[in-house]
Amino acid sequence: MSIKCRLLLFFSCIACQLLYSQQTAGNARPNIIIILADDLGYGDLGIYGGDVPVPNLARMAREGLRFTDFHSNGAVCSPTRAALLTGRYQQRMGIEKALGEDEKGLGDEKAKQEITIAKYLRDTGYATGIIGKWHLGYTVEQSPVNYGFDEFWGTLHGAGDYHSRINTFGRYDWWHNKDTVKEKGYSTDLITRHAIDFMKDHRKGPFFLFVSHKAIHFPWQTPGDTAFRKEGFKYRDVQGPLNRLGQHSPQESREVIRQMIIEMDKSVGEIFAALRKLKLDKNTLVLFCSDNGGIVQYRGGYTNISSNQPFRGEKGDVYEGGQRVPAIAWWPGKIRQGKVSNATLMTMDLAPTFLELARTKLPSATGPNRLDGVSISSLLFDGQESAARKLFWKAGNSCAVRYDKWKLVVNGMNARPELYNLENDKTESKDLSASEPGLVKELAADLEKWKQDVYSKNKP
């Protein structure tokens, strides 16, 4: 064989290897990170018109896709987390409010058939971790490691001191897997550190990492504060709002919240810096959102806490302020930079999206674990929105149904339905029920049909 032929063969082999490696990299299953804020209002962040500068989230939005009509499934903590992890309406598993001390969450009989996205992904080769707040069961038996997560660092309860780790029941609540561990530091910093450690440990991927921040949930504390709760301290035993909100006065609360948001934004920046340093950024999808709207006011004079502007309502409400939340998706080279989506989405849409991207088989559409959410991958990568669908919320005795621009709100069993056109009335201030009786009747019927579906014992 001539030297010319040998050189041609050599370079042809090199070219084939390069092409193969590129195709392999392009087809590699992505790492997936969900960063969940707690009680963060739509109007808190500067990038949503708020007064708190968040340079790292702003960069994430510039380099990714920012959503304007993203909704939490629940108006409080536990319901949204259940929907996020299962891709299903939380009503199906009986998780409709922030779990009380004796409630089992995913360990309840109603939820025994549920399978989390962590389990789906782990069964197909993903390393799975949750760092931070769980709030889906308080005992070792209800630990995240029993629901598909390989590793857990964080708190089982929904609220605890950021310095002492004492929860509202007066118990120490900081865990590594199934054991409590003593660690010093501010909770946001600890969550960040363990999240980065998980990324380092599983850099060869693929991994699924759930970074579940405690911030900005009460007690409201900054890194410079001292521990407020001590062992045996039960907030119900102490009168007044300071028993749960922390050591700051009403006049100080907004500035404390601002600082907590800034610390959380720093955490986001550190996670992105670690992704780049580990050279994981090109094959990692990151999605940031909040578990519900912010608390705007609280008894005892707390009137300027969080902001859900321009929307009506707050945490616990089915009005927009209770469940329309900030959300951003980021994946360099995959998601178009600097785009804004007005598509109407819900937390439960994340599970089917992640499963599709991980090339994991979805549950049967007629089986006991059928998904209520829909994949938004086409929206993320091509800007293609799914067809309008009817979406539902329930918080206490209040319910709502959304279809396209229309939203029906029913605040109680015997309450008169309220109808709003969100296209023209984002603040839900102009009730159009009297002028649209046919639409009210149709949406009310859809709401009742949905209730029969999600509360039926004989249906998935």
What tens digit of pLDDT does each residue of 328-375 get? 999 999 999 999 999 999 999 999 999 999 999 999 988 999 999 999
User: What is 398-455's CATH number?
Assistant: 3.30.1120.10
Torsion of CA 78, 247, 321, 262, to 10 degrees: -90
Segment 92-98 mean pLDDT = 95
Segment 378-399 mean pLDDT = 95
Catalytic (active site) residue 135: yes
Whether 160 has a pLDDT exceeding 90, the answer reads: yes
User: What is 28-389's CATH number?
Assistant: 3.40.720.10
Percent of the chain with pLDDT over 90: 80
From the list 71, 77, 157, 213, the catalytic residue is 77
Kindly tell me the sign of the dihedral angle through the C-alpha atoms of 434, 437, 443, 444: positive
Give the lowest-confidence range in 16-20, 23-27, 40-44. 16-20
| For the chain, domain boundaries | 28-389, 398-455
Q: What are 240-250's pLDDT values in tens digits?
A: 677 778 889 88
Eight-state DSSP code of residue 411? E
Please state the pTM of the whole predicted model: 0.92
Mean of per-residue pLDDT scores for the chain: 92
From the list 5, 16, 135, 157, the catalytic residue is 135
Of 217, 218, 221, 212, nearest to 288 by C-alpha is 212
Give the lowest-confidence range in 106-115, 230-239, 312-321. 230-239
DSSP string, 348-365: GGHHHHHHHHTTPPPPPT
Query: Rounded to an integer, what is the distance from CA 301 to the centroid of its chain?
Result: 29
Cα distance between residue 257 and residue 260, in whole Å: 5
pLDDT of residue 228: 85
Kindly tell me the sign of the dihedral angle through the C-alpha atoms of 406, 412, 414, 415: negative
Of 214, 208, 150, nearest to 176 by C-alpha is 150
Cα distance between residue 255 and residue 222, in whole Å: 10
Segment 51-64 mean pLDDT = 98
pLDDT of residue 245: 87
Whether 6 has a pLDDT exceeding 60, the answer reads: no
Strand pairing class (398-403; 406-411): antiparallel
Catalytic (active site) residue 77: yes
pLDDT of residue 413: 81
